[in-house]
């Protein structure tokens, strides 16, 4: 680490993630949706509708998202998560935990903005034989009536009046340079500190690290950034019926969530530490939950009340605090959120693939985003091109593609289907009862469709 990286670390010695969260625009005050909203399993084992006498226990969809964000804020306060120093090449998608302050003037010396000639005084000018290239030491001063070839980015020789672009000058047979347009003093020279002076604050705490931020940090002299660490996530894939390769056969089906979830969680800002396949083994699940050191555990399937649905019994066994037990959203009603330790949470996803996606955007996204101190996306709406069928009393999430100023609902939007979401740009939040053509619907962008910085598939 160079001194440049060290300075930022020293600035953040007494800084913690909770303070970053207070400075990042809070999504929890404008969680999309103001209507009721509300789980499932790979292969459809556990996607039964809730019994009428338990339906009232499910959490409305907007409230479930707020509960997940609030749980993350509580965990952040209790854990006092410490900012980390991260090399630039590993900082994409993180959130700054210390201000980015210029460590040098930008530019740090007068430079040429164009290829051409550095000229001194009025023309015509005698052209020196040697030229000035970028990256070379200071050139000797020019005297009035002199010019020298100069490249873009090269340091301006002392006493230069202006830079004459290549296309605006011509030389005669006596090697004298003539301007073909007016020469204004200072033209095409980038003066020292034109962009900033050393010590200027360039970016504030809470800024998301984008590719442009990385470039600015490098230009400003940084080798590392002080940032909020990525929350660590572990994935537990449940179900004896799941295959990891080949075609489905003899009642066995391919596991779609094991390949899908790691990249999706990384896109939400997590560091995926492990993907473990446990089958329908209650003891293996208990062992996994009691030994995991992840910030967030994500399980697939087993969240309903079937004979091999072990998530609820195991959470009771370890004394977990269940914060959300079913959500009024379709697909995905039997999703859940539990606090397994003071600074650890479990997101229980339904096993059906699209129902699991619903669980990701409902519970995992606000939880992980808040833990990572990422800014919340601004909610927005678009009119639906076609009618969207709704659930009688729950919110429904439907894959859509965006066509101009319209959102087009997609077919293949059943709980076990991925064909629609695979080509979708967003999920439309459809209120109970459905939506008519032209009706405005809230949209939740998918990570790969927004070009968001969270998309990190490696």
pLDDT at 51: 39
- Dist CA 124 CA 354 (whole Å): 73
Name residues whose C-beta falls within 8 Å of residue 166's C-beta, 6 or more positions apart in sequence: 114, 115, 116, 117
For CATH 2.170.190.11, the residue range(s) in the chain are 111-190
pLDDT at 42: 52
pLDDT at residue 27 tops 80: no
pLDDT at 23: 52
pTM, rounded to two decimals? 0.78
| Mean pLDDT calculated for residue range 110-119 | 95
- Residue 75 — very low, low, confident or very high, per pLDDT cuts 50/70/90? confident
| Mean pLDDT calculated for residue range 59-65 | 97
pLDDT at residue 3 tops 50: no
pLDDT at residue 142 tops 50: yes
pLDDT at 230: 94
| Mean pLDDT calculated for residue range 374-394 | 93
- Residue 174 — very low, low, confident or very high, per pLDDT cuts 50/70/90? confident
Q: Which residue has better confidence, 7 or 159?
A: 159
For CATH 3.40.980.10, the residue range(s) in the chain are 3-97+228-371
Counting Cα atoms < 13 Å in the Cβ hemisphere of 376 gives 21
pLDDT at residue 322 tops 60: yes
- Residue 175 — very low, low, confident or very high, per pLDDT cuts 50/70/90? confident
pLDDT at 449: 74
pLDDT at 79: 57
pLDDT at 454: 45
Q: How far is CA 405 from CA 373, 382, 385, 437, in A?
A: 31, 6, 9, 13
pLDDT at 355: 97
pLDDT at residue 309 tops 50: yes
Q: Which CATH architecture has domain 111-190?
A: Beta Complex (2.170)
Q: What percent of the chain has pLDDT over 70?
A: 84
CATH class of 380-450: mainly beta
Are the C-beta atoms of 125 and 169 separated by less than 8 Å? no
- Residue 376 — very low, low, confident or very high, per pLDDT cuts 50/70/90? confident
Residue-averaged pLDDT of the chain: 86
Q: State which fold the 3-97+228-371 domain adopts.
A: Molybdenum Cofactor Biosythetic Enzyme; Chain A (3.40.980)
| Mean pLDDT calculated for residue range 245-251 | 93
Are the C-beta atoms of 138 and 118 separated by less than 8 Å? no
For CATH 2.40.340.10, the residue range(s) in the chain are 380-450
- Dist CA 151 CA 388 (whole Å): 60
- Residue 310 token pair: 């072990």
- Residue 19 — very low, low, confident or very high, per pLDDT cuts 50/70/90? low
pLDDT at residue 383 tops 60: yes
DSSP per-residue string spanning 197-242: -TT-EEE-TT-B--HHHHHHHHHTT-SEEEEPPPPEEEEEE--TTE
Please write the tens of the pLDDT for every residue from 37-60.
333 345 344 333 333 444 448 999
Please write the tens of the pLDDT for every residue from 400-448.
999 999 999 999 999 999 999 999 999 999 999 999 999 999 999 998 8
Q: Which residue has better confidence, 21 or 326?
A: 326
- Residue 173 — very low, low, confident or very high, per pLDDT cuts 50/70/90? confident
DSSP per-residue string spanning 344-398: EEEEEE-SSHHHHHHHIIIIIHHHHHHHTTPPPPPPEEEEBSS-B---SSSEEEE
Q: Which residue has better confidence, 8 or 404?
A: 404
pLDDT at 130: 87
Phi first, then psi, for residue 343 (nearest 5°) are -125, 30
Please write the tens of the pLDDT for every residue from 206-242.
999 999 999 999 999 999 999 999 999 999 999 999 9
| Mean pLDDT calculated for residue range 281-288 | 96
- Residue 6 — very low, low, confident or very high, per pLDDT cuts 50/70/90? very low
- Residue 337 — very low, low, confident or very high, per pLDDT cuts 50/70/90? very high
pLDDT at 377: 85
| Mean pLDDT calculated for residue range 259-264 | 96
pLDDT at residue 116 tops 90: yes
Q: Which residue has better confidence, 430 or 80?
A: 430
């Amino acid at each position: 680490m160079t001194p440049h990286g060290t300075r930022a670390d020293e600035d953040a010695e007494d800084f913690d993630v909770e303070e970053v969260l207070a400075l990042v625009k809070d999504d929890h005050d404008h969680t999309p949706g103001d209507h009721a909203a509300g789980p499932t399993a790979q292969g459809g084992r556990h996607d039964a509708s809730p019994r009428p006498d338990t339906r009232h226990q499910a959490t409305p969809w907007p409230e479930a998202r707020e509960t997940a964000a609030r749980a993350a804020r509580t965990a952040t306060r209790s854990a006092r998560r410490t900012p980390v120093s991260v090399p630039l090449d590993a900082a994409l998608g993180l959130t700054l935990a210390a201000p980015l302050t210029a460590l040098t003037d930008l530019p740090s010396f007068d430079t040429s903005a164009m290829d051409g000639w550095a000229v001194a005084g009025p023309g015509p000018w005698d052209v020196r034989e040697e030229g000035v290239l970028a990256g070379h030491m200071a050139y000797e001063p020019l005297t009035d009536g002199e010019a020298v070839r100069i490249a873009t980015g090269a340091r301006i020789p002392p006493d230069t009046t202006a830079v004459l672009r290549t296309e605006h000058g011509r030389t005669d047979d006596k090697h004298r340079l003539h301007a073909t347009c007016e020469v204004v003093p200072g033209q095409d020279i980038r003066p020292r500190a034109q962009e900033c002076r050393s010590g200027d604050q360039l970016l504030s705490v809470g800024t998301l690290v984008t590719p442009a931020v990385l470039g600015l940090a490098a230009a400003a002299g940084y080798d590392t950034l002080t940032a909020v660490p990525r929350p660590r996530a572990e994935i537990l894939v449940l179900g004896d019926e799941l295959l990891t390769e080949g075609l489905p056969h003899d009642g066995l089906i391919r596991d779609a969530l094991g390949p899908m979830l790691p990249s999706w969680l990384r896109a939400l800002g997590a560091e995926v530490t492990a993907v473990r396949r446990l089958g329908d083994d209650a003891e293996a699940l208990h062992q996994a939950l009691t030994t995991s050191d992840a910030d967030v555990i994500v399980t697939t399937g087993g969240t309903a009340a079937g004979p091999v649905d072990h998530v609820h019994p195991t959470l009771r066994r370890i004394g977990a605090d269940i914060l959300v037990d079913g959500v009024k959203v379709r697909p995905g009603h039997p999703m859940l959120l539990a606090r397994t330790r003071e600074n650890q949470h479990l997101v229980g996803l339904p096993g059906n693939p699209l129902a699991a996606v619903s669980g990701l955007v409902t519970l995992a996204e606000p939880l992980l985003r808040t833990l990572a101190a990422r800014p919340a996306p601004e909610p927005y709406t678009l009119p639906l091109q076609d009618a969207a069928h709704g659930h009688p009393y729950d919110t429904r999430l439907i894959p859509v593609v965006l066509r101009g100023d319209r959102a087009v609902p997609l077919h293949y939007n059943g709980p076990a289907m991925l064909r629609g979401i695979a080509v979708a740009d967003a999920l439309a939040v459809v209120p109970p009862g459905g939506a008519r053509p032209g009706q405005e619907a809230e949209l939740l962008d998918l990570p790969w469709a927004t070009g968001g910085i969270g998309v990190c598939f490696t």
